[in-house]
Amino acid sequence: MNHHLRGPQLPPSRGPLSAAVTAYLRGTGPLPRPEDARSADPYGDDLQLALYLCYELHYRGFAGVPPQTEWDPELLRVRAALEQRFLAALRADAPVHDSLDDALGALLVEPAQGTGISHFLCDEGELWQVREYAAQRSLYHLKEADPHAWVLPRLWGRAKAAMAAVEFDEFGGGRAERVHARLFADLMRDLGLDPAYGRYLGAAAAEMLAVVNLMSLFGLHRDLRGALVGHFAEVEITSSPGSRRLAEAMRRTGAGPAAEFFYDEHVEADAVHEQVVRHEVIVGLLEEEPELAADVAFGIDATEYLEERLARRLLTDWRAGRSSLRTPLDQQLSHTS
């Protein structure tokens, strides 16, 4: 059997960069030149999809793309150029806190008047918006915790032990049916969505691609290990209150028991994870490598920046009564199993 036929299908391209990468993966054309990335919109559809395609080879790959393409030196050269464009933009655009303590402190403060996605879905979101949110976030949640696992060989002592403990929970505590990615697939079934890995890649917004690409960028580079810990901290510290609101949104819209359970599970689990990440992972990392404090703060700030861009995109579309997806769900062929 050809095992490389098992991955998701390659999605439609969104511009010259992603078209060239797609053609190369199919064996039908040359790669773009690395210098072509320099003039591309660092947050735009074309660059973000091209980068996502490169990164996905380190996860499950694509149908018809041989596994050894993961380490193709010419493709890695192009990926490096795309990464440099993306990372330079993040360093220039993401708000910078004066210190790591300030960055962490900001995460612990819930705004009095919430304006984010979880607030909107909790208070006024409709079922079609809940379904779109799940389709968008499936790119993240169906590989939940996978990019963070890459940091484990790059940590030691207290930080490694604590990070491994949190990851063990994310991967179901040894029970396949409790793996968080599996729980999200169950949520998707409740919502009448196709839970197949990568199913909604072609429909997802560029802002969603950027959120997922950030995890891969930080995870695949040892010199960004501090930033990945910062990303992990942002996710775990902000997850519990947001998950509480999303659980209420699932109940209010009648999304289904598995949809409710996914977010209820995160309310409890991530409240514990927050304490472990703050007091064991970060403190343990900085005991060994205090010079990484600024990188941890950057990981927090960059994650917040991209999540806020995603929220603005989705809420702008929804408040205008239009789909946030490139192809609305009611226009997509049904593949729900």
Asked if residue 135 and residue 40 are part of one domain, the reply reads no
Q: With CA atoms as reference, report the closest residue to 13 among 66, 68, 51.
A: 51
For residues 85 and 288, give the distance between their C-alpha atoms in angstroms, rounded to a whole number: 31
**pLDDT tens readout for residues 246-268:** 999 999 999 999 999 999 988 87
The alpha-helical segments, DSSP class H, found in 150-193 are 157-170, 180-190
Question: Which CATH number characterizes residue 178's domain?
Answer: 1.20.910.10
Question: Whole-model pTM?
Answer: 0.94
**pLDDT tens readout for residues 165-193:** 999 999 999 999 999 999 999 999 999 99
Domain that holds residue 179: 100-331
Give the residue from 61, 93, 125 where a domain finishes. 93
Give the residue from 66, 93, 120 where a domain finishes. 93
Number of domain units in the chain:
2
Give the residue from 93, 117, 146 where a domain finishes. 93
* Alpha-carbon dihedral angle through residues 329, 331, 333, 335, given to the nearest 10 degrees: 10
Asked if residue 106 and residue 49 are part of one domain, the reply reads no
Q: What is the pLDDT of residue 1?
A: 40
Does residue 337 fall inside a structural domain?
no
For residues 4 and 225, give the distance between their C-alpha atoms in angstroms, rounded to a whole number: 30
